[in-house]
Structure 1
Amino acid sequence: MFVAANAQYQAFQVTREELAELADVIKLLEMRLALETEMAGLAAARRTTDDIGQIRGALRRMEDAFADPREAALADSAFHLAIARATQNHYYERLIDFLGVRLVPPRNMYLRDESEEAHKAYAAKVRAEHDDLVDAIIRMDVPRARAAARHHMQESLSRHSQLSEIASLRTTSAS
């Protein structure tokens, strides 16, 4: 095999190593903010009854997996993949499937030293954000679905940005 040195095509990738740094997680969340906003709008416009069942099933799996942050992240990824499928646009599905668990930073990344109550409060907040998004998709309310997805992603971005600021302050004060 031979690959030309001037080949223009490069496949998009997001490696686990790239997401080891909080700054890169934030960059991925910035990308998801735009992507998931429009994805939710399309899902609301095009979803089927079966799609609603898949989305709700993933939401139940997230709730059932609360005690295990890794399993909860996998269920959260399945939730977003179910929404991608509801767009009836296979490119959304392929992109979200490709991102997989990299799509959802596990909560132990930012709640590592927090109490069980903090984990429960976080899970309840995310659940409320997801419930609002699902309700808008079920009702085929495109503007509300977009707004709910944007709100959910903005909240995630804010949580991770705050964590980054705290980490930066710790590094500065340790110097």
Structure 2
Amino acid sequence: MPHSLRTHGVLLRRLTEHLDGAVERWYARAGLDYRPRFTPIVRALLERGPLSLRALSDHIGVSHSAVSQTVTQMGARGWVAPGPGRDGRERIIALTAFAMERLPLLERCWAETETASRTLDADIGQPLADVLIRALDALECRPFADRLSEASAQSSGDSL
């Protein structure tokens, strides 16, 4: 691969395209109109019951905006439905009967995905999730913006 294509962003996008693309095709082959990005929301709702968008965002660790967009896509496909919250501004998201009917098939797809993931882990010699978690933990301790500032200061010092 040319050096210019080996940046973290390009590599992560290619990895996501490989994984999510294959899994999304697997869902379609199983007869599900379902995207991999729906899974954290479905699992959160199965575990905790109906939740507000904010609670979903906090629980799965992605932005409120990302959760809102994903919930909109899920609602259009019949997987979730909004309900009223404690006040007029809050929406409570719940799985639909449609989702619950498809849960056994979805769980089978998840199990097959987990098995396939273990073969990838074996091929690379370590669990990919562990590598990603370590990278995220390192960025929590020292954000990439700080690392960029340090690199800039270092390169400015080098030129003196």
**TM-score by structure 1 length?**
0.29
* Structure with greater strand percent: 2
**TM-score by structure 2 length?**
0.31
Compare CA radii of gyration and give the structure with the larger one. Answer: 2
Q: Which has the higher contact order (CA 8 A, sep 6+)?
A: 1
